[in-house]
């Protein structure tokens, strides 16, 4: 790809996320999300491979649907309350629609079906952007909206995501699909605790981004997309192979690695809130 075009696209990615971060008007926030989506589409399709074209088409349709739903939610709220401010979403129907749209955007279960397929069709660099940077803008909105969202719906989405993330990654040999299901499971933990302790959601998101960044970069060094290729590369660079193993275990939340810390704190907070059943289900599903 032409360096000038690449610079423009990466700058647009940054601009879109920044607009969503600083915006308090729904139209500005929506515009930031749209710029973000349109900037990553050419990066996804640059391989000119049928698999990449399929993944890009699926991603575009999904994101367009989510953006339309989010715009509909904000317009409905403005119609009933006369407010376009992000933190003034007083209409419960609009808040639920906005949460559904954002869940579809980031790939929360049961709206997760596009994520493993799309990630599988991309190269590792674009997959890294999709798994990390593209999560920031929707989470910036969720962290502002959390007092207005239905806690039971958040809990349901979170528990379902941890279950599907755990089960889905079990029979996979493709590393990108494993990372996609890992993303779904981690997002489930973040959403579950969002209403009760948003600071824990932020901590989990930061640690998830660091661990995912490390994992993708290690896979890029090995040039591997399957589990078998990591096993065969352990003789060439044993230290990097050990790092890869530790990072994957950390993403899974195995103690005493860093990925276990946010899960431990979230379980502790859920117990304080007397939500014993969700805490038990999530702890058991993490064992997968």
Question: Tokens 């289900």 map to which residue?
Answer: 281
* Confidence (pLDDT) at 221: 85
pLDDT tens for the chain, residues 1 to 288: 788 999 999 999 999 999 999 988 999 999 999 999 999 999 999 888 889 999 999 999 999 999 999 999 999 999 998 889 888 888 889 999 999 999 999 999 899 999 999 999 999 999 999 999 999 999 999 999 988 899 999 999 999 999 999 888 887 888 899 999 999 999 999 999 999 999 999 999 999 999 999 999 988 888 877 877 777 776 777 788 888 888 888 888 888 888 899 999 999 999 998 888 888 888 887 776
Distance of CA 204 to the CA centre of its chain: 11
Question: Tokens 């808040």 map to which residue?
Answer: 95
Q: Is the separation of the CB atoms in 104 and 66 below 8 Å?
A: yes
- Please give the structure tokens belonging to residue 220: 């890029």
* Confidence (pLDDT) at 114: 94
Integer CA distances (angstroms), 247 to 120, 210, 272, 279, in order: 20, 10, 30, 24
Please report which residue ranges of the chain form alpha helices under DSSP H: 3-22, 26-45, 50-81, 92-106, 114-120, 124-131, 133-145, 151-168, 175-193, 198-222, 227-233, 238-252, 260-272, 276-286
User: Other C-beta atoms within 10 Å of 227: how many?
Assistant: 13
User: Other C-beta atoms within 10 Å of 81: how many?
Assistant: 14
Quote the CA–CA distance of 230 and 248 in Å, as a whole number: 12
* Confidence (pLDDT) at 288: 65
């Amino acid at each position: 790809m032409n360096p000038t075009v690449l610079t423009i696209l990466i700058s647009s990615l940054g601009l879109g996320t920044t607009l969503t971060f600083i915006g308090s008007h729904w139209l500005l926030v929506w515009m930031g999300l749209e710029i973000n989506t349109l900037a990553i589409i050419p990066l996804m399709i640059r391989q000119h491979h049928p698999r990449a074209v399929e993944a890009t088409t699926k991603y575009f349709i999904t994101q367009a649907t989510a953006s339309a739903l989010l715009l509909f939610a904000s317009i409905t709220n403005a119609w009933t309350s006369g407010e376009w401010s992000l933190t003034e979403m007083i209409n419960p129907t609009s808040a639920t629609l906005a949460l559904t749209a954002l869940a579809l955007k980031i790939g929360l279960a049961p709206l997760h079906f596009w994520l493993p397929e799309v990630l599988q069709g991309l190269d590792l660099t674009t997959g890294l952007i999709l798994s990390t940077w593209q999560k920031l803008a929707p989470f910036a909105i969720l962290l502002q909206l959390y007092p207005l969202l239905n806690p039971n719906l958040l809990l349901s989405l979170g528990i379902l995501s941890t279950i599907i993330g755990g089960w889905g990654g079990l029979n996979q040999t493709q590393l990108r699909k494993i990372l996609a299901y890992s993303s779904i499971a981690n997002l489930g933990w973040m959403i579950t605790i969002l209403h009760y302790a948003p600071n824990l959601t932020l901590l989990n998101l930061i640690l998830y981004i660091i661990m995912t960044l490390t994992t993708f970069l290690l896979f890029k060094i090995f040039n591997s997309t399957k589990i078998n290729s990591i096993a065969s590369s352990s003789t060439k660079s044993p230290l990097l192979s050990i790092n890869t193993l530790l990072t994957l275990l950390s993403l899974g939340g195995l103690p005493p690695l860093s990925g276990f810390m946010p899960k431990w704190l979230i379980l502790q907070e859920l117990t304080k809130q007397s939500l014993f059943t969700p805490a038990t289900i999530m702890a058991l599903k993490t064992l997968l």
